[in-house]
Copies of this chain bind each other. A is one copy, B any other.
Amino acid sequence: MNVHEAIQCLKKNGFKQTDKREDMLQLFADSDKYLTAKDVFDQLKEYYPGLSFDTIYRNLALFENMGILEMTELSGEKHFRFTCAGHQHHHHFICLECGKTKEIDSCPMDGLMENLKGYDISGHKFEIYGRCPNCVE
């Protein structure tokens, strides 16, 4: 997925191409970081002095719905990054300082450390969501 494909995806679904959407998408395309709405806002507002937060939030939600961005919640804030489509199922290491990510191709923690030499691991989260047998009935 790149900016061009993302724009095509939007157009195909009847959404319009705008400068701000392009710039937002370019931001994500240029980095493998998870970004918050504020991160995006701060970087765009120098080009768009009157930029509104609403524009950022609306488009982030749109991009997520389209599958262009993927979202995770970290310490109470939503963080977004370009979807890693086409790959096998994988997870991410997320740097809590700079937001940079690294793909983790295997799923378990076991035997994982060898893929993360040089990283300082402070924690991890693995949770499964759904409905329990009681609630399924």
How large, as a class, is the contact surface on chain A?
A: 35 or more
Interface mask (A91-109 → B, CB under 8 Å = 1, otherwise 0): 1111111101010101111
Q: A116-137: which have CB < 8 Å to B?
A: 116, 118-136
B-binding residues in A (CB < 8 A)? 72-73, 75-76, 89, 91-98, 100, 102, 104, 106-110, 112, 116, 118-136
Copies in the complex: 2
Contacts of A126 in B (CB 8 A): 91, 107, 124-127
Q: Could you list 25 A-B pairs, sorted by A, with CB under 8 Å?
A: A72-B127, A76-B76, A91-B128, A93-B127, A93-B128, A93-B132, A95-B130, A96-B130, A97-B132, A98-B132, A107-B109, A107-B110, A108-B110, A112-B128, A116-B128, A119-B130, A119-B131, A119-B136, A120-B130, A121-B128, A121-B130, A122-B130, A123-B128, A124-B129, A125-B128
Contact B110 A133 (CB under 8 A): no
Contacts of A102 in B (CB 8 A): 132
Contact B129 A96 (CB under 8 A): yes
